Amino acid sequence: MRPNQASKTAGLVAFLRACGDLGLSTVPGYSDPTAQALMTPPFDGYFRWIKRAARVVGPKRLANLVRERRLDSVPLRTMAIDAALREALALGATQLVMLGAGLDGRAHRMDELADVTVFEVDHPSTQAEKKKRAQGLPKRCKDLRYVSVDFEREDVASRLAEAGHEPKQRSVFIWEGVIVYLTDQALRATLQSVVVSSAPGSRLLAQYRQPSTADEEARLQTMVAKMGEPHIGPRTPAQLAQALQEVGLRVLSDTSGVEWAFRFGATGQIAPTTANTRLVVGERS
Ligand SMILES: C[S@@+](CC[C@H](N)C(=O)[O-])C[C@H]1O[C@@H](n2cnc3c(N)ncnc32)[C@H](O)[C@@H]1O
């Protein structure tokens, strides 16, 4: 991330969620009514333009026009994580820790969090933007606490403890769209913090990106490098499984965007971005 600048890729993800909410993905039933309010510049400007275009040509026609632009990937990963989150809550998690929360709207859109304390953990620059933008949104969770942490330099477990996170209660951790930006050292230190902060039965839902073809890697790297946030860590399923197991997290599942596309009934072509995005679910024994 660029020093003193909120994450641009967090803005991009909020933009893609807002596009999904507008009906521009092919994932049936996808919605995120919070995404538009949380979006940062320049994406809010692009989105206003897209909304005008959707009014003129209709969302379905616009969706057909932009189908190859990989608009299913973020809605699908959001739905896969929401489903895994609901499962963890049904099993008794009372705390949700969002690692690298960005402009995620779950605390403001999921009624299932009514009895849950949410800890949004993020880099201080991004979090300052998020706090401003979330002010006007109602909370759907029991309590929302912001915890600012740089994963490369600080200890997540002690920052969570300072914010009142209870390691003896069952938690669910979401780590979405972050791992690819982190060094191995930050990856392992954060996993260690997850375990230190977790009661048995707690779950980690970690989304990551596996390496793609040389062409696709080059395309993605060009895009994110322009935003000052290079993808330094695409990782294989075997690497992620090993990292989880090393700290004592049992791997329950590891699924890909291809599986989610079938599960959630997406009808668009499966783009490489979708095929290479994955979600590993680990459990603290
Ligand atoms: C692509 S965004 C994803 C945000 C959110 N999880 C989502 O899916 O909408 C990447 C997030 O990782 C955070 N991040 C990147 N490097 C970080 C670091 N070293 N410490 C803390 N947060 C970091 C950014 O601030 C940003 O919120």
From residue 116, give the alpha-carbon distance in Å to each of 6, 47, 143, 159, 199.
Answer: 27, 32, 7, 19, 15
Q: What is the mean predicted confidence (pLDDT) over 33-50?
A: 93
- Ligand 1 centroid from CA 178, angstroms: 5
The pLDDT tens digits of the residues spanning 153-169 come to 999 999 999 999 999 99
The pLDDT tens digits of the residues spanning 113-133 come to 999 999 999 999 999 999 999
Residue 57: band (very low, low, confident or very high) from pLDDT cuts 50, 70, 90: confident
pLDDT of amino acid 60: 74
Q: How does DSSP classify residue 113?
A: G
- Ligand 1 centroid from CA 50, angstroms: 25
- Specify the residue for token string 């991009």: 12
Q: Using most ligand atoms within 8 A of CB, pick from 15, 19, 34, 123 the residue to mutate for ligand 1.
A: 123
Residue 65: band (very low, low, confident or very high) from pLDDT cuts 50, 70, 90: low
The pLDDT tens digits of the residues spanning 132-155 come to 999 999 999 999 999 999 999 999
Quote the percentage of the chain above a pLDDT of 70: 97
Q: For 73-284, which CATH class?
A: alpha beta
- Ligand 1 centroid from CA 209, angstroms: 14
- Name the residue at shortest CA distance from atom 9 of ligand 1: 104
- Name the residue at shortest CA distance from atom 13 of ligand 1: 100
pLDDT of amino acid 267: 86
Q: For the sheet containing 95-99, what is the strand order?
A: 143-148, 117-122, 95-99, 171-175, 203-209, 277-284, 249-256
pLDDT of amino acid 68: 54
Residue 10: name the closest of 38, 45, 46, 37 by CA.
38
Q: What is the mean predicted confidence (pLDDT) over 93-121?
A: 98
**Domain residue extents for the chain:** 8-69, 73-284
Binding pocket residue ranges, ligand 1, CB within 6 Å? 1, 7, 9-10, 13, 100-104, 122-123, 126, 149-152, 176-178, 181
CB 190 within 8 A of CB 174: no
pLDDT of amino acid 70: 65
Q: What is the mean predicted confidence (pLDDT) over 248-259?
A: 97
Of 24-33, 113-122, 197-206, least confident by mean pLDDT is: 24-33
Q: What is the mean predicted confidence (pLDDT) over 161-184?
A: 97
pTM for this structure? 0.95
- Ligand 1 centroid from CA 51, angstroms: 26
